[in-house]
Amino acid sequence: MGTSTLVARPARLRTAVIAGGAAIAMTATLGLPFVATAAVAAEPATGIATLTPVQVPNTTPMIAAAVPLSDYGYTETEFYATGVASRYRTTAPLSTFELIDTVSPYKTRVLVRTPDPSAFNGTLVVEWANVTVGQDVDFAFAESYDYLLSEGYAVAVVSAQRVGVERLKTWSPERYGDLSVAASNIDPVTGGAVDSTNDPLAYDIYTQITRALQSNSGAVAPLPGLDVERTIALGESQSAGRLTNYYNGIQPLTGVFDGFVYLDGAGALRADQAIPAISVRSDVFRPAPSPATSTYTRTWEVAGATHASYWGAQYVDALLVRDRSFVVNEVPLSFTQLITGCTFDPIWSKVHMGYVLDRAIDATNEWIITGTAAPASSFFERAADGTSLRDANNVSLGGVRLPDVTQPTVKNNPINPGPGFCRLVGSHQDSTAAELKSLYKNHGGYVSEVTKAASSVAALGYILPARATEIKREAARATIGK
């Protein structure tokens, strides 16, 4: 696995922030070649959000955790976040950012999930809420909540974008009616748009809220009893695209984060800053090879995985139904029910992509703490045109290969033609007893094969040893081959 020593990088400016320093684009262009250039100099960005607990009787937060946090010893608090945010001008290929101004007031919210101080591991994970379905969803937490909560991370989910904030306001006017992240999207110098999705404040809002969590100050501390030692940025899909731009253009200016983890949506990352970053990618159609990786960046492509896994989708299904986010004829619809017209059903792959995301977070945290570099990138095998080579079940060859793929009990197909999200969701088909009998002659043989496969992928460093143990136990409990 090797080691890699982190070199000096910009300070987080916590001292200036705590002392009261003044407050001084988009979906990512996935696959766009990155040209390494130095970040354009700007005034030091020292803005920090003011966090105030949300206290509205008889209402609860939208996308509050969909699992019982108390079972893990966690509590969840929602805070309003206010401040004056900066707008940034970007230059192609979104690798450099220039400060335009710092004059735009905002009010949004952040959900904070905190462990007992005795269980805190010192690391704060800040997820940029995804807004692709028209509201905030914490898709990465959905895949890895068990790992994050079991290992003592503090977790925050930031509402940084206009679409999510506007939906909060319609979902509960009483709780969220005065939120706003709106600002002029016109660049006063170029006359063009500052941000392609009309979110010119999003990057600085994310920065300022993270600084407020790191400082853990204010009338009500957002992380009671915790001392944040490290901070990891986390985002899925559209949010991962945003955080690609952040890594390339904002991080060099602010130095706020110690590491980045991306779930299926990162673009090319610059190679000239010593900030660990790991991108976990699914097996949906890709028009081009994955971005090249460097000393401090990794890409782990997961064979057979879809944009969200069956397991992550179950979390989001429960979330949307509980919150009544999408209602038809007075019946709340799940995430799965929103995706219709696909060629194959049931949708979603049952490949545990979340297991690889768990390890990516863990490896990034270890990299920050010890300087031990994460395992090498793992790519699919590709043809000359960049498309991955696939087997008879449409599963890509190469990449990270979990026992879900190498010793399958389910036919996972990451390719699903159809409208809208179909191209991202894939499908699965549970194997029949006869099919399983043809694959595995006896139970002992099945367990032995799964044990070897799980041990191998854990030894390579792409899943946690604890997950390998879990896989082996599930195989032993199964009736396959009996």
- What pLDDT digit, counting tens, does each position of 158-190 carry? 999 999 999 999 999 999 999 999 999 999 999
Residue 217 confidence (pLDDT)? 86
Q: Residue 447 falls within a domain, yes or no?
A: yes
Residue among 160, 355, 338 nearest 239 (CA): 160
Average pLDDT value over all residues in the chain: 89
- Read off the pLDDT of residues 94-109 as tens digits, 9 standing for 90 and up: 578 999 999 999 999 9
Cα–Cα distance measured from residue 244 to residue 248, given in angstroms and rounded to the nearest whole number: 6
Q: Which amino acid is it at 320?
A: L
Same domain, 236 and 318: no
Cα–Cα distance measured from residue 154 to residue 145, given in angstroms and rounded to the nearest whole number: 11
Residue recorded with tokens 């619809």? 333
Same domain, 233 and 98: yes
Total-model pTM:
0.91
Q: Would you place residue 56 in the very low, low, confident or very high pLDDT band (cuts 50, 70, 90)?
A: very high
Q: Residue 294 falls within a domain, yes or no?
A: no
Instruction: Check whether the bond before 93 is cis (ω within 30° of 0).
Output: yes
Same domain, 268 and 332: no
Structural domain ending residue among the three candidates 230, 256, 275: 275
Structural domain ending residue among the three candidates 258, 275, 292: 275
Residue among 240, 248, 235, 242 nearest 275 (CA): 248
Same domain, 324 and 202: no
Q: Residue 288 falls within a domain, yes or no?
A: no
Residue among 151, 106, 192 nearest 467 (CA): 151
Structural domain ending residue among the three candidates 275, 301, 333: 275
For the cut 90, the answer to whether the pLDDT of residue 368 exceeds it is yes
Residue 157 confidence (pLDDT)? 99
For the cut 50, the answer to whether the pLDDT of residue 30 exceeds it is no
- Strand locations in 319-443 (E): 327-328, 331-332, 410-413, 427-430
Q: Are 158 and 129 in contact (CB under 8 A)?
A: yes
Q: Which helix (H) or strand (E) holds 259?
A: strand 259-263
Q: Residue 6 falls within a domain, yes or no?
A: yes
> What Å distances lie between residue 84 and 395, 449, 455, 472, CA to CA?
48, 57, 51, 52
Q: Residue 37 falls within a domain, yes or no?
A: yes
Same domain, 262 and 393: no
How many domains does the chain divide into? 2
Residue 80 confidence (pLDDT)? 98
Q: What residues contact residue 287 under an 8 Å CB cut-off, 6+ apart?
A: 31, 386, 387
Q: Residue 47 falls within a domain, yes or no?
A: yes
Same domain, 270 and 330: no
DSSP string covering 187-237: -TTT-SBS-TTS-TTHHHHHHHHHHHHHHT-SSS-SSTT----EEEEEEET
pLDDT higher at 472 or 22: 472
Domain containing 44 equals 1-275
Longest dimension (CA), the chain: 72
Residue 92 confidence (pLDDT)? 64
